[in-house]
Amino acid sequence: MKLNKFKKLVALAMSASLLSGITAQFAPAIAHAEDQVTIKFWNFPNFTSDSEFKTPEEYDKALIAAFEAKYPNIKVEYQKLDFTDGPAKVETALQSQTNPDVIYDAPGRVIDWASKGYLAPFSDVDTATLNESAVKASSFDGQLYLYPQGIAPFLMAVNTEVTDKLGVTDLLPLNSEDRNWTVDEFQKFLEAVQEKDSEMIPTVLYSKSAAGDQGPRAFVSNLFGSWITNDEVTEYTINNEAGVKAMEWIQEQAPKGIIGQGAALEAKDALEYFKSGKAALTILASPGLLAQWKDAEGLTARFLPFPNVDKAPKYEYLVAGPAVFDNGDEAKVKAAQQFVDFMINDEEWGIRTLKATGNFSAKKDETGLYDDEELAFAEKLSAHFGAYYNTIPGYARMRPLWFPLLQGVLSGDTKDVKEALDAFVKEATEIYEEEAALLKQ
Amino acid sequence: MLNRLKRKYDLSGYLFIAPSMIFFVTFVLYPMLKGMHMSLFRFRGRRQLFVGLENYVKLLSDNVFLRSMGNTMFIVAIAVPIVVVLSLFIAINIYNKSAAVRSFFRGVFYLPAVSSVVSITVVWLWIYNPDFGILNYVLKSMHVVNGNVQWLGNSATAIYAIIIVLITTSIGQPIILYIAALGNVPVELIESAKIDGASNWVIFKNIIWPLIIPTTLYIVVTTTINSFQIFALIQLMTAGGPNYATSTVMYLVYETGIKIQDYGKASAMGVVLAAIIAVISTLQFKYLNRDID
């Protein structure tokens, strides 16, 4: 009798779980019938510069509320991400098919997802109205997968309060229009800082991890005019003569302490040194970071280009914007793209969202949004953007090869720079070829 | 009647072990089997290509993996004996003190074991900081070193710097276990030996040590497994650098699997590591258990 009851209970539980499974399967169809769509939006702390909101999450929620008010048939579920474990969280979600419908990110990851077939393209966007470099970086196989909203160059910055105190500001190229300087001028400045105050760290060439690793790459490749890849982004070129010369320069300067002791330091350490006035110059700066430094006491940051032997540096650059995942539901894709359109093109929230990132507009006709001398300088640099190699097949696998290479040079482990660069390029090329071949399958 | 009773007791036995079995199957057995299965594939987004043993074959010629395995073995070989000897030494010295002193030292040594790894790491990163760290400051004041030593940025010192942190965080639990084990050693035996004129060393060797071998076995096995799986310290302190000098297998599994999304290769690394841990733990059980017998 008792066993019968037990059997009945099991049968009931199984029926309930079966029914709930069936209901769950039919749920999207029911929602679709009522024209109600729910989409998921995941965002990193991108919107940091809107003074009305204390945190980026508050901004995200206000943006969603404004969108939902305009489009009551679409509900947006929000989840914040952070830069430390956010990327891993998205990857895990992709594997378990619990990923979002919309994410605000950069082409490095987005194009990788596009190449794996996770994303829906933006077919209706008029790319002619957008910055060419940004469109190129945001496209895969001729289709736009990231809707570029903001662009910004990565460059260097100096703390002029420190250099004024040390009396070395006149060694900086701040008075010339393009502010360019040679490697010799740069070295002379670093040595002057060290001479005036031996406790001051002139700058920190960090290499601990992949965090902010584009900074050291841009620094190295600009010194004597090499670049990580060729312009077509089909070949690694950093082991050429100029690249070797740059690494040899670093190998020579590292023991002097003028480029800091960065083998065990990462981007956030270098930025902390700069922000707290312990380092005069940072090799990692951007308009977004400048906004964060505005209120720091004892810090007046001014942008500087990377030193280059011919005074003709090229810039790595940030492209930021939303991407839409194709989760197999056309209604969701459509709603997600509507949300993206609101985020970028709404009369009020379009500009506001862009300005909340601190970036410049990727729209060609939207310039001069900020009333600031440093930002005006940075905005002009879009004409000097280098090849955007973050979308090269196998980029994610190449990154972990870069910082051990630089660590070896900085720590003195690497004796033969050419050999080390050749080994890096050989391995990076093998990864590229393997990944490119997989794309064709 | 007897059969019904037997069934009843059988069922309750299963119910008792059910929670543990559910956890074991869900969080140990299934992930282990899934990991072994995944190690035979290459992942490209949601696509999976069966590659057989290719991931394992690649590991044999992967210099970074081999170096990481070497680093892992080195850490285990250095850290485990130090943890065992040092914790026993501290426990013996604390055991004879008053209850208040014993509690104080137990708390002091156990504190790192219950603190978050992140907090501990932040403290040690400041201690080791080449420019402002207290270690360089003290050593410079004592004229032991001249310039600012990069403890974590130099491949000759980084792994030792990590081992020191690992030992300080691993030593708390063994001390507590040894103090408990020492409490079970019959006082009469020690006193009789003393009356017979036995030295402290003879008492330790012939009375205390044989009685605390089971505890030592547990400490050796768990410390070995923990040292093999060292990950958070590496990730937070050196990210495997400089130039792979502190890269361990667990860190490489994370980097290969989570950061690069090469789940197949990462799984193969995990399987190899699990196999090595299993072999070493079995050997430890075999030889230390022999001493217990």
> At residue B20, does pLDDT exceed 90?
yes
- Please give the DSSP secondary-structure letter assigned to residue A280: E
Q: Would you place residue A27 in the very low, low, confident or very high pLDDT band (cuts 50, 70, 90)? A: very low
A50-54, B43-47, B82-86 — most confident range = B82-86
Q: Is the dihedral of CA A251, A255, A256, A262 positive or negative?
A: positive
Cα separation of A243 and A237, whole Å?
8
- Residue A356, token pair as written in the block: 């909340």
Cα separation of B81 and A430, whole Å?
42
Q: Would you place residue B249 in the very low, low, confident or very high pLDDT band (cuts 50, 70, 90)? A: very high
Q: A408 — contact with chain B (CB < 8 Å)?
A: yes
Find the chain B residues whose C-beta atoms sit closer than 8 A to any C-beta of A.
Answer: 44-47, 128, 130-132, 148, 150-155, 158, 238-244, 255, 258-263
pLDDT at A88: 83
Q: What is the pLDDT of chain B when averaged over all its residues? A: 90
Distance (Å) from the alpha carbon of A81 to chain B's nearest alpha carbon: 16
Q: Would you place residue B258 in the very low, low, confident or very high pLDDT band (cuts 50, 70, 90)? A: confident
Cα separation of A216 and A206, whole Å?
7
The β-bridge relationship of strands A119-120 and A317-325 is: antiparallel
pLDDT in tens, B57-70: 999 999 999 999 99
Query: B131, A262: Cβ pair inside 8 Å?
Result: no
pLDDT in tens, B199-216: 989 999 999 999 999 999
pLDDT at B6: 65
- Please give the DSSP secondary-structure letter assigned to residue A130: B
Contact between B272 and A409 (Cβ < 8 Å): no
Cα separation of A308 and B84, whole Å?
56
Q: What is the pLDDT of chain A when averaged over all its residues? A: 89
Cα separation of B129 and B149, whole Å?
9
Q: Which of B46, B61, B62, B131 to mutate to test the interface with A (most CBs of A within 10 A)?
A: B131
- Higher pLDDT among residues A354 and B287, named by residue: A354
pLDDT in tens, A407-419: 999 998 999 999 9
Q: Is the dihedral of CA A140, A142, A148, A154 positive or negative?
A: positive
CATH topology of domain B63-288: MetI-like fold (1.10.3720)
- Higher pLDDT among residues A26 and B188, named by residue: B188
Cα separation of A185 and A176, whole Å?
14
pLDDT at A13: 45
> At residue A185, does pLDDT exceed 50?
yes
Q: Which of B15, B259, B263, B267 to mutate to test the interface with A (most CBs of A within 10 A)?
A: B259
Query: B241, A117: Cβ pair inside 8 Å?
Result: no
> At residue A31, does pLDDT exceed 70?
no
Contacts of B152 in chain A (CB under 8 A): 263-264
Query: A209, B152: Cβ pair inside 8 Å?
Result: no
pLDDT in tens, A83-115: 877 888 898 898 888 999 999 999 989 998 998
> At residue A18, does pLDDT exceed 50?
no
Taking CB atoms within 8 Å and a gap of at least 24, the contacts of B141-148 are B148/A257, B148/A261
Mean pLDDT of B148-163: 92
pLDDT in tens, A232-245: 999 999 999 999 99
Residue bearing tokens 């690793």:
A213
Contact between A342 and A67 (Cβ < 8 Å): yes
Report which of A383, A385, A159, A382 is spatially closest to residue A290, judged by C-alpha positions. A159
Report which of B96, B103, B105 is spatially closest to residue B187, judged by C-alpha positions. B96
Residue of chain B minimizing CA distance to A118? B45
pLDDT at B161: 96
Q: Is B290 exposed, middle or buried (0-12, 13-18, 19+ CB in 10 A)?
A: exposed
Cα separation of B281 and B279, whole Å?
6
Report which of B171, B197, B211 is spatially closest to residue B89, judged by C-alpha positions. B171
Distance (Å) from the alpha carbon of A257 to chain B's nearest alpha carbon: 10
Distance (Å) from the alpha carbon of B57 to chain A's nearest alpha carbon: 17
Q: A210 — contact with chain B (CB < 8 Å)?
A: yes
Distance (Å) from the alpha carbon of A9 to chain B's nearest alpha carbon: 17
pTM: 0.81
Q: Would you place residue A4 in the very low, low, confident or very high pLDDT band (cuts 50, 70, 90)? A: low
C-alpha count within 13 angstroms, C-beta hemisphere, residue A434: 15
Out of A263, A400, A410, the one facing B255 most closely (by C-beta) is A400
- Tell me whether the omega of the peptide bond preceding residue B31 falls within 30 degrees of 0, making it cis: no
Cα angle B172, B174, B175 (rounded to 5 degrees) comes to 65
pLDDT at A60: 96
Distance (Å) from the alpha carbon of A402 to chain B's nearest alpha carbon: 10
pLDDT in tens, A109-140: 999 899 888 999 999 999 999 999 999 999 99
Contact between B231 and B254 (Cβ < 8 Å): yes
Cα separation of A110 and A116, whole Å?
10
With a CB cutoff of 8 Å and minimum separation 6, the contacts of A182 are: A307, A308, A309, A310, A311
Mean pLDDT of A17-24: 38
Instruction: Classify A212 in phi/psi space as left (phi over 0), alpha (psi -120 to 50) or beta.
Output: left
Distance (Å) from the alpha carbon of B181 to chain A's nearest alpha carbon: 41
Cα separation of B256 and B281, whole Å?
26
- Higher pLDDT among residues A331 and A439, named by residue: A331
With a CB cutoff of 8 Å and minimum separation 6, the contacts of B108 are: none
Residue bearing tokens 């600009």:
A222
Query: B46, A94: Cβ pair inside 8 Å?
Result: yes
> At residue A33, does pLDDT exceed 70?
no
Cα separation of B155 and A411, whole Å?
8
> At residue B293, does pLDDT exceed 60?
no
Mean pLDDT of A283-294: 90
pLDDT at A166: 96
Q: What is the ipTM of this complex?
A: 0.78
Report which of A399, A378, A391, A379 is spatially closest to residue A436, judged by C-alpha positions. A391
Q: Alpha helix (H) ranges present in A34-115?
A: 56-70, 86-95, 107-115
Out of B131, B155, B241, the one facing A261 most closely (by C-beta) is B131
What string of H, E and C letters represents the secondary structure of A142-171?
Answer: CEECECCCEEEECEEEEEHHHHHHHCCHHH
pLDDT at A435: 87
Q: Would you place residue A47 in the very low, low, confident or very high pLDDT band (cuts 50, 70, 90)? A: very high
Mean pLDDT of A199-219: 92
Q: A91 — contact with chain B (CB < 8 Å)?
A: yes
pLDDT at A19: 38
Mean pLDDT of B100-126: 88
> At residue B222, does pLDDT exceed 70?
yes
Out of A260, A396, A403, the one facing B241 most closely (by C-beta) is A403
Helix, strand, coil percentages in chain A from 3-state DSSP, rounded to 5: 50, 15, 35
Q: A384 — contact with chain B (CB < 8 Å)?
A: no
Mean pLDDT of A161-173: 97
CA separation, residue B190 to residues B182, B200, B205, B207 (Å)? 11, 9, 11, 7
Out of B46, B151, B260, the one facing A397 most closely (by C-beta) is B260
> At residue A24, does pLDDT exceed 60?
no
